[in-house]
Amino acid sequence: MSSYYQQELHRLRAIVFPHAHRRQQVLQARQFIEAHYAEPIGLPDVAAAAGCSRFHFLRLFRQYYGRTPHQYLTTVRLREARRLLLAGASATEACFAVGFDSVSSFTALFRQQMGCPPRTFAVRAGQKSNFGEAPRPEAADSCAQNASL
């Protein structure tokens, strides 16, 4: 029964505060993606977290963020994979830890985003400076700048 009242409350808020309600819906969806990126989530899951239909949610999310929820989920997963690679994880470990099902699709997406495959990124990030310092994240950033290397 409380679900009914929640839906009615959402409906009334949408009537009284249409823009604030929409913004709140996409923020809830974004928070859901950030919290559950490593899980096998899909559009129905994220739309339910936002409290609206899949089709309305898809249009709303794209309106606010300029990309689909799936594109945003992929961006979050790649960001977290990059963080894991910088921390010393292997490409395979990073791939599955952030929710990708396939190493080959992960590698292709990572290469497209970063300009080099995950292994090259990790090797460059793990390189030490001339003074024996810790791994340098900026060394890995050179992938995007020097994609031909």
pTM metric for this prediction: 0.76
Which among 59, 39, 71 is positioned nearest to 50, based on CA atoms? Answer: 59
Domain boundaries, the chain: 2-66, 74-145
CATH placement of domain 74-145 = 1.10.10
Q: How many residues does the chain have?
A: 149
Cβ atoms of 97 and 38 within 8 Å: the answer is yes
Cβ atoms of 62 and 94 within 8 Å: the answer is no
- Cα 131 from Cα 36, distance rounded (Å): 40
pLDDT of residue 60: 93
Could you read off the pLDDT of 5-61 as tens digits, one per residue?
877 877 776 676 666 778 888 999 999 999 999 999 999 999 999 999 999 999 999
Whether 141 has a pLDDT exceeding 70, the answer reads: no
Could you read off the pLDDT of 113-132 as tens digits, one per residue?
999 999 999 888 876 433 44
- List Cβ neighbours of 82 (8 Å cut-off, separation of 6 or more): 114, 121, 140
Torsion sign (Cα): 112, 117, 118, 122:
negative
Cβ atoms of 74 and 109 within 8 Å: the answer is yes
- Cα 102 from Cα 84, distance rounded (Å): 17
